[in-house]
Structure 1
């Protein structure tokens, strides 16, 4: 169904290395791509000639030159002149089912953003600003309308929506009246998703094949230094909402810093980078690249079933006893983030080192190095199985002793956390 026509133009564009490097590459060469074939396929996709709505997105979202050419031709069939951004999004999403991994959906929305600004020059500072705002209103739609009936979830307020988008119009603020209008439009009329009677295939964990270990930089301290992100393997990325609950060493986050904030989240090796938008790594300031970075070695991501104010939320507990909540756009993204984070943690976290020894009756937590393991995948799997069994024995013995001292409580808390990580490592790697 359209496969032969798609293949006829794919000779001119092969998959590029990194999703981030080519996400915004719009200037394809006419000599390298069969433009007439791209135009024909785009027209057929728009009119659903031989295609279903659930087929369209996969032809627009591939990371190669021909797919980008098809997407460029496809969006030309839309006229967004004088339309508000939410109205344009509604018209765009009514034609096909937007599906796939976060990176794939964002590639499609990038082309939408370019077309919207082309039809409405001067409406926003740049195409990137349109893309950021488009992703923000889709997250807003999930926040306002994704919960169960009865008002059990606390919805995002208009003020919070505006605050989350501060300085994201290419360094400027979006017009306040525009954001208010978008907020109330989404609240009054939820976005509708195109369906053709078939459920789109479930997304799989992205980027979990192959080894992710990178060699440490000579002279670096793997316990303190954040690894070179330019050489790291990228596993997943996308817009999320984040809330800080517990700071490092188990200290409760001060009330003034517990609010929800929108970030563009990128998982590279054992570090979760949080930026204001998808261009954080393009800036040259190292301090900006490391701002809000979260190490995930020996971390554990779980669905936050006990958190009822918002839905599609997962909890991330880190090796330094910090705790965060992340809200995703839907249940598939929630599962994808949890599975990807846990796979990377299980596959590449270096084995713990023995804790300090002293005469005080105080539990000393083992050291959890943030460097990559030197074990092969098979050896890492065997180490997890052995460690999980050993930790479960220690936990059972501790609870059998009925020791309620602070020493025992601290050890119990540590063992429960480590059993959760080690016990699930087997199926995460498999």
Structure 2
């Protein structure tokens, strides 16, 4: 069950802010809590009561106090859960009721401890419903992962009920969970996504920022979210204090939609924007960037997160000069035309540097032993690793992917097989090849010293800018006459791999 826990809790960590604003709890009890020095049961009971009734605490404070790794916090968690009676309630309904009381925010380990408290209490209330507390916790994590899968926007094909059941085979202490139970849980999450409570002030702030009020835990004092799908797990962090690494005019063409699906013909035209690479987000604005000016709803809609993305020269696109290709974490492909060869290369370097430095380590692979290949989740949150640790993380990932790619190519599908099996093989091969190339570039940039590149050590002006004068579009401007469709445009919304005979040696 540990693998399952890590998947869902890492996915859950993408919901809400990376940074927790610790509340200065009132009085000596708050001091004892933050230092983890008190183990008094009566004190834990008093604090749990205050947390439950939100007595001088906000909903966003609850998980912080329940999820600390010390004995007192464990006592507080146990006492807090005693306010909930789940007797006779289904697991999904109990979890929804639990989430109505607070905001599940914090680090991965903190969230895991909160969910362990829930699982323990549910099992106490319903000892005969599920065989063990570990089984309850396994299903709780599975529901949260399913919630991300069904209501997410960048994780590929949605999980079916059959796949959900197959992923949980043998995970009830070596046995299978009842199929009826799993079907009921699947339909519950499919019909209504899991959400948790948000403080009123956060709702008001979310509304005033033009974002979805239901993005539970996705707002903080410093970081809001750009929401594309009403799913806060994978929304783009929008940090107003983030550094601006590059600005300038770019023309954009949407080449492939999410998961590399072919963009409809009517939506593939070139449009010119004033591009701003701020933090890990590439904003595409109609007007020149001004720090004091609020972003419009259209600006937010056009924004592209560059976490885990890879920019490269669009060598297979010949209709316009100075075109770069950006492949995002959710496998969208966008083409951008710069005003010169130097500008194109500068944009490529800046985007890849930001991705290399700030992309958080990927979530583990999907639970169970799925036969069908599916890409792992790539979190939109910013890494908390140091630059040296980030380099080691990328190197470890490159080694893992290289080994997996070699193993994959050593077992090609039978020549007699056709259809889905072969397509799945090619898709995985394409994914591993792309990831290998991506990490190689990330590692190279980190070893070269990205600080110089990010601070403007190239042909462009210094990277940490606040504004930029509007350059006039020269003769190589992105706007040009219509040209007959280039055959090479079709390559990126399907695996860019040769036939299996060519690829496997």
Report the TM-score when normalising by structure 2.
0.42
Report the TM-score when normalising by structure 1.
0.49
Bigger RCO of structures 1 and 2 (CA < 8 A, at least 6 apart): 2
